[in-house]
Amino acid sequence: DQQVKQNSPSLSVQEGRISILNCDYTNSMFDYFLWYKKYPAEGPTFLISISSIKDKNEDGRFTVFLNKSAKHLSLHIVPSQPGDSAVYFCAASPRGAQKLVFGQGTRLTINP
Amino acid sequence: GAVVSQHPSWVICKSGTSVKIECRSLDFQATTMFWYRQFPKQSLMLMATSNEGSKATYEQGVEKDKFLINHASLTLSTLTVTSAHPEDSSFYICSAGQGTGGPRTTDTQYFGPGTRLTVL
């Protein structure tokens, strides 16, 4: 049972444009959400997070939006840069727990 | 930023042997370490959570006698795959948490680069 889903395995975006990565979840106990970026042969690195009490969190070029009623979150990257090319994982944490539940990842490619 | 290392980065072993994977936090003390497993084109699946000096907490479906976890110090956790079989072949990745160890507020999990295990 995949509780966190990233339905797009890959996404290709032109440099300078906006990249939008989507993530859906099913467990209403999740109350903290994170995005990680992963390069080949490296571990995931933390990008940005959002608590369920918020609907938006911004950090530089990265913004995460949370729609609790739709159980949907998205990561916006603008403007997209070639160095943003990587696999992006969304993750969710249940209330009162330390564990992270990951999505399958989306491979983002930024084209010059 | 915080650095987590894993050793070895890849290992090939014969069926029936045991393999030990080390996870170290290099520049911080990790009160909690997490072990994940990733199959090709699938998500990272949490296997267990270990706190320094206490027994690991295993996720449902993960055999604790097969995947032995030891968290002997605040900078080292080990995962031993005992009597490995081809179906254990996977990518194993650890993460280390600071503070309370949870992904809350200033707490984030710092991931190691992973270990590719191939069992022949």
Give the burial class of B2: count Cβ atoms within 10 A of its Cβ; 0-12 exposed, 13-18 middle, 19 or more buried: middle
Residue of B42, B33, B19, B43 lying closest to B98 (CA atoms) = B33
Asked if the model's pLDDT at residue B103 lies above 70, the reply is no
Nearest to B41 among A91, A97, A104 (CB): A104
What is the number of CB-based contacts under 8 A between chain A and chain B?
64
Q: What pLDDT, on the 0 to 100 scale, is given for residue B97?
A: 81
Q: What pLDDT, on the 0 to 100 scale, is given for residue B101?
A: 45
Q: Which residue of A has its CA nearest to B43?
A: A104
Nearest to A103 among B43, B100, B111 (CB): B43
More confident: B2 or B104: B2
Residue A26, token pair as written in the block: 């099913």
* Cβ within 8 Å of residue A19, ≥6 positions away: A11, A13, A75, A76, A77, A78, A80, A84, A108, A110
How confident is residue B117, by pLDDT bands cut at 50, 70 and 90?
very high
pLDDT along chain A (112 residues), means of 10: 91 98 95 92 89 95 97 98 96 84 95 93
Chain-chain contact of A93 with B103 (C-beta, under 8 angstroms)? yes
B46-75 residues touching A, CB cutoff 8 A: 46, 49, 59
Q: Decide if A20 contacts B91 (C-beta within 8 A).
A: no
Return the minimum-mean-pLDDT range out of A46-60, B35-49, B95-109. B95-109
- What are A's interface residues with B at a Cβ cutoff of 8 A? 2, 4, 9, 32, 34, 36, 41-46, 49, 89, 91, 93, 97-105
DSSP state for residue B83 in the 8-state scheme: S
Q: What is the pLDDT of residues B1-11, one digit of tens each?
A: 678 999 999 99
| Residues of chain B positioned with their CB less than 8 A from the CB of A45 | 1, 111
Nearest to B93 among A43, A46, A49 (CB): A43
C-beta pairs of B26-30 under 8 Å, 24+ apart in sequence: B26/B2, B26/B75, B27/B2, B27/B3, B28/B2, B28/B96, B28/B98, B28/B110, B29/B74, B29/B75, B29/B98, B30/B4, B30/B74, B30/B75, B30/B77, B30/B96, B30/B97, B30/B98, B30/B101
